[in-house]
Amino acid sequence: MITAEKYIQSLRDMGPRRVYVMGQRIDNIVDHPMIRPSINCCAMTYKLAELPEYEDLMTVTSHLSGKKINRFTNPFQSQKQLVDKVKMQRLCGNMTGSCFQRCVGMDAMNAVYSTTFEIDAKHGTSYHKRFKDFISKWQENDWTVDGAMTDPKGDRSLPPSKQADPDMFVRVVERKADGIVVSGAKMHQTGVLNSHYILAMPTQNMSGESEKEYAVSFVVKADDPSLLFIYGRQASDTRKLEPGSHIDVGNVNYGGQEAIVIFENTFIPWEQVFMLGETDFTGMLVERFAGYHRQSYGGCKVGNGDVLIGASAALAEYNGAAKASHVKDKLIEMIHLNETLYSCGIACSAEGSATAAGNYTIDLMLANVCKQNITRLPYEIARLSQDIAGGLMVTLPGEADFKSPEIGPWCDRLMRGVASVPTENRQRMMRLVEAMTIGSIAVGYLTESMHGAGSPQAQRIMIQRAANMETKKKLARRLCGIDPDGLF
């Protein structure tokens, strides 16, 4: 394993990347004020693994090497490891109050691990061994790997091969003696600029000869010169660029990151190819990745929720409203909703089972129920938080106003709540709630809750598939006498 400091240095040591932020090419991503908070978040996954008090959650023994590794590099080997994953994610969410970006690669690893094993069993390929070899390097170097699934998709009514622009889906454009060449793009890539490698997967179930070139999974170094990155905008993101701005950012050290990654005829050597044309396994890979990632949200979003609940409780105290019965009830409701989400994450983990490859997967029904709740309950938690915070959260003067010799004293006097609490404390807590519910951190807490790991309808489709409705109808027929089975 490596330390947080070595992780950040490893990003500096990588080759130059073609990264664009707000239309400008950025040469130094590590120290860019809009990007560095997300790097700090990812670094937290390394820092916590260094601390003895979190060793049991953050580390595990590798089943490949027998060495102690960071849990984010681990193919799950038991139900307990699935449960510990969720607990680890809650901890990381507590420590960052944001998306810490390393979960997607961990979930992609586990999905590709089991799927390649089953592809090999059916088609006689050697993908699984290739992938295990890559995982061994992944663990040894403690890499952060971006899991890349979502394509632009273009016209949703058309399959990949029928799109007017073929780059709407990542595809193979050339097969060579030593590897393949791919073209296309992956959207909404969480933490891709903070990663050492990118693990690409197909984005949907595919079938037929015309879709074979789109049924591709591979890994590529994140500093490959053929890659182009376009950094995504977030609400209030330019506050990070304002001179002297610190408090107004809300979360002063941490933040999320989303970017588009474009493959411009990227060469992939054979040893880094893990699916090539096996359309019959694209659905399996997508469902397994989605299941793992829907489980993840029962940890990370709950960790963020803890922070938001704490900020809301603090503001109730600063406002002098902590003893009001309706405020107490709102805080109780926020806790109830947050722990409901956590219960779903733990449940789908505890009901997990072994795949043919030996690593463990979650209960698919419960994972989708977990994510369906995630698309709803954080929004109610955020609403209640804004209710408790009050309207000042969105009308509060800026940090520069508080520093002004002319108007600063007025700001300090008029924005104070309880006399014993410094105005700056109230100011800081207001900005944190603002950032988490409508600002730059809201991407990681709310928008990801809605669309990350698939939008709400995707979970409803999977819930319908897993419901086993015929069995439920059979139970009802037996009890009402239509189809008695003579139990007694």
Q: Which of 39-43, 49-53, 448-452 has the lowest mean pLDDT?
A: 448-452
How distant, in Å, are the alpha carbons of 118, 151, 216, 363 from that of 280?
A: 11, 19, 12, 22
Give the SS3 label for residue 220.
Answer: strand
Known active-site residue 196: no
Known active-site residue 103: yes
Q: What is the CATH number of the domain that holds 249?
A: 2.40.110.10
Known active-site residue 300: yes
Instruction: Specify if 411 maps to a domain.
Output: yes
Instruction: Specify if 85 maps to a domain.
Output: no
Of 214, 231, 297, 342, the catalytic one is 297
254 & 294 share domain: no
Of 190, 266, 279, 437, the catalytic one is 190
pLDDT for 417 beyond 70 = yes
75 & 211 share domain: yes
Give the SS3 label for residue 418.
Answer: coil
Of 258, 287, 399, 434, the catalytic one is 258
**Final residue in a domain of this structure, among 279, 298, 326:** 279
**Confidence band for 485, pLDDT divided at 50, 70 and 90:** confident
Closest by CA to 44, choosing from 425, 300, 342, is 300
pLDDT for 488 beyond 90 = no
**Confidence band for 486, pLDDT divided at 50, 70 and 90:** low
CA 192 to chain centre: 11
Instruction: Specify if 89 maps to a domain.
Output: no
300 & 223 share domain: no
Of 42, 92, 99, 411, the catalytic one is 99
As a whole-number percent, the residues of the chain with pLDDT over 90 amount to 98
Instruction: Specify if 115 maps to a domain.
Output: yes
186 & 206 share domain: yes
pLDDT given at position 63 = 97
pTM of the model: 0.96
Instruction: Specify if 422 maps to a domain.
Output: yes
Q: Give 362-388 pLDDT, tens digit per residue.
A: 999 999 999 999 999 999 999 999 999
156 & 199 share domain: yes
pLDDT given at position 245 = 85
Known active-site residue 406: no
Of 118, 211, 434, 448, the catalytic one is 448
243 & 358 share domain: no
121 & 210 share domain: yes
C-alpha 155/C-alpha 399 separation (Å) is: 45
Characterize 12-49 residue by residue with b for buried, 16 or more Cβ atoms within 10 angstroms of its Cβ, and e for exposed: eeeeebbbebeeeebeebeebebbbbbbbbbbbbbbbb
pLDDT given at position 380 = 98
269 & 304 share domain: no
Total domain count for the chain? 2
Q: Give 66-103 pLDDT, tens digit per residue.
A: 999 999 999 999 999 999 999 999 999 999 999 999 99
304 & 231 share domain: no
Residue 289, CB half-sphere, CA atoms under 13 Å: how many?
A: 32
227 & 244 share domain: yes
pLDDT for 428 beyond 80 = yes
Instruction: Specify if 86 maps to a domain.
Output: no
Q: Indicate the average pLDDT of the chain.
A: 97
pLDDT for 487 beyond 90 = no
205 & 325 share domain: no
Known active-site residue 140: no
As a whole-number percent, the residues of the chain with pLDDT over 70 amount to 100
Average pLDDT for 289-301: 98
Q: Any residues with CB less than 8 A from the CB of 446 and at least 6 apart, and which? A: 378, 379, 382, 437
Residue type (1 letter), 107: D
275 & 383 share domain: no
**Final residue in a domain of this structure, among 222, 257, 279:** 279
Of 300, 344, 370, 411, the catalytic one is 300
Instruction: Specify if 475 maps to a domain.
Output: no
Of 42, 103, 344, 348, the catalytic one is 103
pLDDT given at position 422 = 98
Helix (H) or strand (E) holding 230: strand 227-231
CB 85 within 8 A of CB 71: yes
**Final residue in a domain of this structure, among 263, 279, 295:** 279
Q: What is the CATH number of the domain that holds 419?
A: 1.20.140.10
Residues of the domain holding 308? 285-468
Known active-site residue 395: no
